[in-house]
Structures are given as structure tokens and as C-alpha cells.
Amino acid sequence: MPVTTPLRPWREHLSTGSDPTSVDLGAGGTLVGAFTARWSAEPSFPVLGAPDGDGATGRYRWLVADELEEASRRAAHRLLGTGAVPGDRVMWSVGSSLEGIVAHLGALRAGLVVVPVNPAYGAREVGHIAADVRPRVAVVDDPVRGRWAREALGGDLVVVGPDLALPEGSEVAALDAAAPDDPALVCFTSGTTGRPKGAVLRHRNLLASARSVALAWRWTADDRLVHALPVFHAHGLCVGIYGTLVTGASAVLLPSFDPGAVAGQAASPSSSLFFGVPTMYHRLLGSGHLAALARLRLCVSGSAPLAADLHRRCSEVLATPVLERYGMTETLMNVSNPFAGPRRAGTVGFPLPGVEVQLGSGGEVRVRGPNVFDHYWERPAATAEAFAPATDGGAPWFATGDLGAVDDDGYLVLRGRSSELVITGGFNVYPAEVEDVLRTHPSVADVAVVGTPSEEWGEVVTAFVVADGPPPTVEDLATVCAGVLADYKRPRLVHAVDRLPRNSLGKVVRAELRAAVGRTG
């Protein structure tokens, strides 16, 4: 009988001498409670900075804690002034900017539930989310997304820009009243199956996860994060922004990922942390800019597998190996390589403080803990399907859809997903959504979309097409995707086939399609 090594216990993430029983991930009660406590403790501390204007001057604009408190308070009142009441949803679709973060924090302080939406989404994608969560307000940096949302709702939506200034003297409502169990975010994700659904995360989930990574990664007020991730996904928002605010640290928000700009910021003596997806490390390495990150105390990778070879090549340039961790929108951060112990390439480490992980049938990774979301928005059946009852009388396990195994050192190795999800550059693409759009092309008789390996993107969206007439090219398919799907979802490769491989139930055998394609650049 094979001997199975147990996963290392989470206490191994703690610094020597720390008592695991004293870990309280819920201290402060809510996320906003934790932020505002930090702000009042050190009002003149510079918290968030961003390049001034278009960044050409090399100057930065900083918000100190006091300014962040005041600006987010005004934003909260402005949002409540629209008639929104605690519990109402706010669609929040902005690029990385100080105003965007202030608006976000204002919404949380007002007790509103933020629904982040990728600003690259088109009318159909925005419409789906708006129709599902029925927001009262939309905070958008392009009014067209507000219009699409309003159209999907059939009217009745207040659309505002991210700059939510409010005249003096018009503040009335009590803020920061959300309770730990109140919902804070609805984040749309493909989930493990089916069409996009909203994962409802409560204040206590967000706080627990931010605290857990802070403990494991020794994140303190002395740290400054070089933040180049999108703020509308859990990696950039719940790890990057919330982690910074909960620890009382600081961050420089770059408006987009540019290897030179990341290197420039990393060179600043105050910078100490960088979090990225594998595609970012690939680009930093390829452009020669990774060396500038060698002076940072910690570089973290997540959201998609960091190829062991890329991990090793990065580690040759950096002072310490990249720390790979594993998370998910529904659970936030689950598992991490250690800050102090060996960071093993090709593994994601062991459970973070407070998180329990087990392997279910077929090696599916299951998670439970204070970080795990509550339910899918108005999808009781999908929620029930996602959780497996516990046999120990404890909370049910969330079934991630990721397949894993434990290596000889007690580290988790991810071996793929049981779902059809494609992860390209850290963004999720659900094949059915793309296939539906591709079928609208007149030359497409049948189509299946899979992810095929790519050194730069991890996976690239690849279409196998049974053509009706001349086979369509990548460019032909792009014409039906334009304006309907965010650009990262459109196929980068297309293969013409006579027929799609199907099993006896008529389901496309995607593994066979993936196997038919070699590695691309």
C-alpha cells in the first residue's frame, strides 16, 4: 500500500516561537474596522501612492492615512446619497487608480456590496453581471459600461465616475457599521463548472485571508508593495490592496503592468514586495528587468501555475526564490510556500494559517476555513454542489475543482483541474462562453475551445473548428469576438478539424484535443 505523506501543518508558516493557538484571524471584526483602526493610529502615514498624471514626470501622488480616511468617508456618503442602502450592490469597474480605490473603500465603509467588473468587458459580459446582481449604483471610469449595465437592468441605475468628491457639510449617515458576517464583495468567477456566477465574500472572509497571508509572509507596516496587478480580481484586490491596508503597510499602484515601470519602482529603497502572475515573471525575465527585483525582500507568484523551469530561472536572478502560492476567488488564499523554509519549484506549498486542506476523491483539493466564501449569489444549487459535507461534524469542504497530490516533503503539487477552465495570463476563460460566440461565425459548423500550453501565457485559448467552407483564421474569429468578449478570451490559435472527438455521451473529449497540440511560444 502506498504511504501518503500528510500536508505540512500551517503552524510551520509562523515565525519561530509563535503560538498557533494565539492566531486570531478575525481580530478587528471587519475589513473596514481593521483599516480604519490603522488609519487613526497613524494619520500621517503614506498608504497609497500612484504615478502623477501619465507618469511621465516620474512624480508620485500619495494619500496619507488621514486623507484616505477622509476621501473614503466622503465617497461613502456620496454613494449613500444616491439612495443606496447597506446591502445594495455597487458595480465597480475601474482601472488601477487612487480614485478607484477610494471609491471602493467608500462603498465598503457604507456597507454596500462591491461587485468588481473587468473594465475590458463588453456589453454582453457587463450585462450578464448587472442583470444578475441588480446593482443600485455603478462606479465606472467609462460611462459606456454604466450604459450597458443600465440597458441590461431596464433602467434604474445611478452611474458615477470614480472621483466621488462631496461638498463639505453634507455627511449624515453612520459609516463602518458592517458586521463581520455581512457580505462585502460579489466576485464573478467561472466557478468549477457552468456559466459565471458571483461568489459572495463576507467581511470576515476578506479580513481572515489578508491576515493569514500577512502572518505567513511576515508582511508588516515597513513593507511597500509594487502593485501592478489588476484591482478587479482577488489577487490584486484582496491580497494586494487589502493586505496592504490590514497590515498598515504601503503600496505604489501602477496603472498597468509594464516590466520597465515595475523595475523602476522596485529600485526605490522603500519597495520591498512584488506580487505577480507567471506571465509577468516571464516578461520581467525576458526583458532583463527581473534583476531590479532582486533587492525586494519577497516576490510572490500566483493565480496560475508557475512552471518549475521559469521558477528556477527567476530564482537565479533574484536574491531569494519566488514564493508560489495557490488561491481562488471563492477561497482567497489557501496554500503557500513558506517565507522562511524551502520554496519548492513546481509546488504551491502547504496550508496558510487558519486554512484546512484535504484531498478528496480523485485527488480533488478541498478547502475550509474562515477564508472560504459563503455562497454563490442567488445560486443555491451551485452552492450546494460546490460544498462536500464533512465527516467530522465541522464545516463543509469547498471542492475547488483543482487536482492535487502531496509530495514527499508535505507540499501540495497541483496536477490540473477537473473543470474545463482555461487560465491564460492569470485570467480565467470558460470555453462554453467562447464557443457560443464562435458559433455565430458563418464558417463555423462546430467548435470546441481548450487551453493549450504556452511559455508566456501558461495556456492560450485554442479553437478546434469544423468548418463549413474555407476554415476561418484567428483573425476571422476575432471579428465575431470583437466587442462581445474581452480580448483575452478570443482564440489565439485555431485548428481546422474534420470532426471533434466525442465520447459515447456525445461530449467533446477535450484532453484529446489538447494532446494534439504542442507547446507554443
Question: Which positions touch ligand MCA (CB under 6 A)?
Answer: 229-230, 233-236, 256-257, 277, 279-280, 302-303, 327-329, 424-427, 457, 487-488
Q: Nine-digit cell at 141?
A: 471610469
The CA–CA distances, whole Å, from 488 to 198, 262, 323, 422, 511 equal 20, 22, 26, 11, 22
Min dist CB 280 to ligand AMP, Å, is 13
A 10 A CB-CB count for 51 gives 20
Do 482 and 470 touch, CB atoms closer than 8 A? no
Per-position x/- string for 233-272, each x denoting binding to ligand AMP as judged by CB under 6 A, each - no binding: -x--------------------------------------
- Our finding on whether 215 is near ligand AMP (CB under 6 A) is no
Do 376 and 37 touch, CB atoms closer than 8 A? no
Beta strands in 409-473 (DSSP E): 412-417, 422-424, 427-429, 444-454, 458-467
Contacting residues for 406 by C-beta, under 8 A, at least 6 apart: 4, 5, 6, 7, 359, 412, 413
Q: Is 275 exposed, middle or buried (0-12, 13-18, 19+ CB in 10 A)?
A: buried
Min dist CB 278 to ligand AMP, Å, is 8
305 binds, among ligand MCA, ligand AMP, none (CB under 5 to 8 A by kind): ligand AMP
CB nearer ligand AMP, residue 229 or residue 234:
234
CB nearer ligand AMP, residue 133 or residue 423:
423
The dihedral region occupied by 326, where left means phi > 0, alpha psi between -120 and 50, and beta the remainder, is beta
Q: Which of 297, 313, 417, 514 binds ligand AMP (CB under 6 A)?
A: 417
Distance CA(251)–CA(62), nearest Å, equals 10
Min dist CB 183 to ligand AMP, Å, is 18
- Our finding on whether 209 is near ligand AMP (CB under 6 A) is no
CB nearer ligand AMP, residue 230 or residue 302:
302
DSSP 361: G
CB nearer ligand AMP, residue 273 or residue 447:
273
Min dist CB 367 to ligand MCA, Å, is 12
Owner of C-alpha cell 477552465? 421
Do 208 and 330 touch, CB atoms closer than 8 A? no
Q: Which helix (H) or strand (E) holds 211?
A: helix 203-216
CB nearer ligand MCA, residue 150 or residue 233:
233
CB nearer ligand MCA, residue 137 or residue 231:
231
Residues from 176 through 195 that contact ligand AMP (CB under 6 A): 189
Instruction: Give the residue closest to ligand MCA by C-beta.
Output: 425
Min dist CB 311 to ligand AMP, Å, is 10
Residues from 300 through 329 that contact ligand AMP (CB under 6 A): 302-305, 324, 326-329
280 binds, among ligand MCA, ligand AMP, none (CB under 5 to 8 A by kind): ligand MCA
Fill in the amino acid letter for 384.
A
Residues from 334 through 373 that contact ligand AMP (CB under 6 A): 348
Min dist CB 426 to ligand AMP, Å, is 8
Question: Which of 336, 250, 340, 246 has its CA nearest to residue 300?
Answer: 336
Q: Nine-digit cell at 369?
A: 476555513
Min dist CB 140 to ligand MCA, Å, is 19
Residues from 385 through 404 that contact ligand AMP (CB under 6 A): 400, 402
Min dist CB 116 to ligand AMP, Å, is 12
Instruction: Report residue 50: phi and psi, to 5°.
Output: -150, 150
Do 61 and 50 touch, CB atoms closer than 8 A? yes
**C-alpha dihedral sign at 307, 355, 271, 265:** positive
229 binds, among ligand MCA, ligand AMP, none (CB under 5 to 8 A by kind): ligand MCA
> Count of residues binding ligand AMP (CB under 6 A)?
18
Q: Nine-digit cell at 401?
A: 475543482
Strands 197-202 and 224-227: unpaired
Residues from 276 through 305 that contact ligand AMP (CB under 6 A): 302-305
Positions in the binding site for ligand AMP (CB under 6 A): 189, 234, 302-305, 324, 326-329, 348, 400, 402, 414, 417, 423, 428
